[in-house]
Amino acid sequence: MNDLFMDFLTSLLPEYQMQIVLYGNGPMLLLIICFLVHLCILIGSPATISLKRWLPVIYTTPFFLLFVFLMTKDHRLLYSAAVTDGRSPLDPLFLLLTVLFVAGYILLSVLILIVSWFRTRELKRKKILLSLLLSLFALFSWFVLVTSLLQMKDVTSRNAMILYFVGYLFWGIALRHLIGKHDLMPDYRKLFHILFQSAPNAILLLDKKGVIREMNPKAKQWFEGIPRRDILSHFQFDDQQNLGDRLALFCQGKEHEAQREVRIYNPSRGYMDLIMGIDLIEGNGEELFVIHLTDATSLKETERRLLESERSYKYLAHHDSLTDLYNRTGLQVQLEQKIEIRELFALVLIDLDHFKPINDTYGHFVGDLYLKHIAHMLTRHAQPGDLIGRIGGDEFVLVISCMDPRIDVNTMVHERLSLLKKHAFNHEGIDIPITFSAGVGLFPKDASDITTLLKIADEAMYRVKRASKMGM
């Protein structure tokens, strides 16, 4: 169970560690130790009845200090994600106060139970208080042990946090067993029921057959409108495995990840991205699955938007915004890949003739449409493995893969480019012909690098252009 719980804590999305610690684990830890004192006051009643009026102070003091820290200090100073060498990523003062509150509240709980044990005359109650006192001593000893290991740098701060929570987890299980064993007053059961009902996460209790026995209000809210028998079928995992099979593997010890990302769909609420944890406990003589779900929809949506922005940025960085062809940078990346695998190719540099008169006669808007038409024609007649790009205002590049060295490259290029001349650009019934000059550079025959290859193709293109003007 330790391994499962550690996996659950350490496998949370690493890019959100600061938010999880400052807004999740930190407040939850403070809430646990406040509940600890509260429970000891209730269990020690009536000897501790006078301490009930201090409960507001006990609850508000740590949370007030946490609020002050969050409001007065930059979050990156409170939790430095850059610290990975074993030291605590928390601000030293923030860490000190947290440790003092945890240790102080555990000691306060111990003192409350000791006072209650001395003042109680009932033998059964003394036995209960002594059992609780021993469990708290064990918890405090665990806290001191982990803190000592942390100070001696035998464990990292991250592992220490996991060990603290493991201690609280087992103490909570022992406390639950003690309450069931000694049949404490219904008020205590009611308190645990309140904790279950008010939990901010969705919790489902299932039997070994996968039948849902109980759900807390948050779970009922998330699955509202779905029949209880159909809820498990709404769990969607990336590996397409259903929840029933996953629970069976968990029982067999083959499901090593106790925490997974899952998506559920509720017709009335839409899709929700969740972090799902699984535990197996024993209650009333039978084993029950505890499935707890944490809403990560906003975090996953932010992650998706960031990934989409990154893809969009990469696309814009490598493509021409007018024609959607590769730009100079994009072509260079693609050509470097071809050169790396020593693929034979011909680089054709195409320079449009008379493009300026088109802009002057018809306007830049029509000029842009003319360029897009040429890009469309080049793309339409491209073959697998070809690359097409626009590297200047009226300059295009066509990269033709020629794996067979016996092929006459110049003849192949001529045939490919002649298709452009057959598809004039039509604007409002007027055909605007496509005229151009082109030069070819071969890899690796003419050059073995991109810069030289472009230079050779450029020189060949200008020779064609000059010859065309002299022919006129």
Q: pLDDT tens for residues 307-349?
A: 777 787 888 889 998 999 999 999 999 999 999 988 889 999 9
| Percentage, residues of the chain above pLDDT 70 | 79
Predicted local distance difference test score (pLDDT) of residue 405? 67
Q: Of 164, 165, 247, 253, whose CA–CA distance to 208 is shortest?
A: 247
3 against 347, higher pLDDT: 347
Quickly state the pLDDT bin for 5 (edges 50, 70, 90).
Answer: very low
Check pLDDT > 60 for residue 6: no
The average confidence (pLDDT) of the chain is 78
Q: Give me 278's structure tokens.
A: 């699984």
Grade residue 3 by pLDDT with cuts at 50, 70 and 90.
very low
DSSP class per residue in 238-251: TT---HHHHHHHHH
Tracing tokens 């106060």 back to the chain, one arrives at 97
Inter-CA distances, 349 with 423, 462, 464, Å: 19, 10, 11
In 3D, which of 271, 191, 266, 285 has the Cα closest to residue 225? 266
First to last CA, the chain: 87
| pLDDT level of residue 55 (50, 70, 90 thresholds) | confident
- Write out the H or E segment, with its range, that includes residue 66: helix 55-72
Q: Which of 17, 15, 79, 12 is nearest to 304 (CA)?
A: 15
Confidence grade of residue 62 (pLDDT, cut at 50, 70, 90): confident
The pLDDT-based confidence of 7 (bands split at 50, 70, 90) is very low
Query: Is there a contact between 420 and 447 (Cβ–Cβ < 8 Å)?
Result: no
Chain segment 114-126, per-residue pLDDT in tens: 887 888 777 777 7
Write the pLDDT tens digit of every residue in 224-241. 888 888 888 888 887 777
Pair 436, 353: CB distance under 8 Å: yes
Question: Would you kindly state where each structural domain of the chain is located, as residue ranges?
Answer: 1-197, 199-306, 319-471
Query: ω into residue 56 within 30 of 0, thus cis?
Result: no
Which homologous superfamily is 199-306 in?
PAS domain (3.30.450.20)
Mean pLDDT along residues 365-380 = 92
| Residue-level pLDDT at 21 | 59
- In the predicted structure, residue 182 carries a pLDDT above the cut 90: no
Mean of the pLDDT values across residues 381-393? 89
Output the CA–CA distances (angstroms, integers) from residue 407 to 212, 323, 383, 401, 412, in the order listed: 70, 30, 15, 11, 8
- Of the listed ranges 32-36, 201-205, 274-278, 432-436, the least confidently predicted one is 32-36
Whether the pLDDT of residue 17 is over 50: the answer is yes
pTM summary value: 0.42
Q: Return the pLDDT at 455.
A: 93
pLDDT digits (tens, 9 = 90+) for 78-96: 666 666 555 666 777 777 7
> Residue 381 and residue 471: Cα distance in Å, rounded?
29
Per-residue confidence band for 211, with pLDDT thresholds at 50, 70 and 90: confident
Indicate the class that CATH gives domain 319-471.
alpha beta
Q: What's the pLDDT at 8?
A: 43
Q: Is the separation of the CB atoms in 348 and 398 below 8 Å?
A: yes
Share of the chain above pLDDT 90, in %: 13
190, pLDDT greater than 60: no
What residue type is 326 in one-letter code? Answer: Y
Q: Is the pLDDT of residue 462 over 80?
A: yes
| 230 CB burial (10 A radius; 0-12, 13-18, 19+) | exposed
